[in-house]
Amino acid sequence: ALDEYGIEADYAERWERDPASDQSGWVARSSSAAGPVLWLRSGKRFMLARPRAMDATETLAIWSRASANRASIEELRRLADFEISYGVITGDDGCILHSTLPWRELQSVVLPKNWSIDCAVGDLASGACLG
């Protein structure tokens, strides 16, 4: 298990190996309209991570409207639009079980066709696999 504690915020998380996973692992990269996507896979489980699609200027403008209670729900969603999702592989597709974007949960996703074993665990931790 891995325990993680907040530095800038008060929180604690415990990461444990999923009993449904195995020792195999693959990495894939793709792009979406929102930007590059990093995919991780172990057994019948997957994770995807993608950065926020907005640039700094647009982000600051929406934060300004949000602080004045004038931002729309769509703008607030765009502020939260950094995605880390976890799911299960069902055939050729995946189903998102948990996500930093709650409206993505239980959605089907098309998985990448080409997976590789090109990143060591240390590379994943350092961010070297992001591209």
Tens digits of residue pLDDT in 58-79: 989 999 999 999 999 999 888 8
Listed residue (63, 97, 65, 105) closest to 80, CA to CA: 63
Q: Considering the entire predicted model, what is its pTM?
A: 0.63
At 16-49, the pLDDT tens digits run 776 766 666 788 888 776 678 899 888 889 999 9
Whether 86 shows a pLDDT value over 70: the answer reads: yes
Q: How many domains does the chain have?
A: 1
Residue of 128 and 35 predicted with greater confidence: 35
Query: Average pLDDT over the chain, rounded to whole?
Result: 82
Whether residue 91 is predicted with pLDDT greater than 80 in this model: the reply is: yes
Q: Evaluate the CA torsion angle 42, 16, 131, 119 in order and state its sign.
A: negative
Tell me the C-alpha distance between 29 and 19, whole Å.
25
Maximal CA-CA distance, the chain? 49
* 12/121: higher pLDDT: 12
> Rounded to whole angstroms, how far apart are CA atoms 42 and 15?
15
Edge-to-edge strands, sheet with 108-110 = 26-32, 35-42, 45-50, 83-90, 93-99, 108-110
For the chain, give the percent of residues with pLDDT over 90: 32
Tell whether the model's pLDDT for residue 90 goes beyond 60.
yes
Kindly indicate the confidence band of residue 6, based on its pLDDT and cuts at 50, 70 and 90: confident
Residue 128 has pLDDT above 70, yes or no: no
Structural domain including 60 reads 2-130
For range 46-57, the mean pLDDT:
87
